[in-house]
Amino acid sequence: MQFWYVYVLRSLKDKQFYIGFTNNVRRRFLQHQNGENISTAPRRPFELLYFEAHTSKEDAIRREDYFKTTKGKVTLRQVLRNALLADHNDS
């Protein structure tokens, strides 16, 4: 069975999120870390904050699109609140 993943990276440089989808999270994360993605290369390094699996590519794309909306970003911050709070407390 093929899985598709929606993933959320956070730049350690500018603290902004990057949301994408892939069928191989490890490979895609390494591509971002190695600067192989033109849009994210200047924002390296990254940390992988979150990913979720879907059995349908279309469902993963729909979820990625949702996370990029204002409401989706609110949902993401709620899901990631402990990780984001821990990072804030470390500062």
- What pTM did the predictor assign? 0.91
What is the strand order of the sheet 17-22 is part of? 17-22, 4-11, 46-54
Residue 91 pLDDT more than 60? no
Distance, CA of 13 to CA of 45 (rounded, Å): 7
pLDDT band (50, 70, 90) for residue 57: very high
Q: What is the mean pLDDT of the chain?
A: 94
Interval 72-78 mean pLDDT: 95
- Distance, CA of 53 to CA of 28 (rounded, Å): 14
Quick one: pLDDT at residue 88? 59
Span 4-42, pLDDT tens digits: 999 999 999 999 999 999 999 999 999 999 999 999 999
| Cβ atoms < 10 Å from Cβ of 10 | 20
Domains in the chain, CATH or no CATH each: 4-90 (3.40.1440)
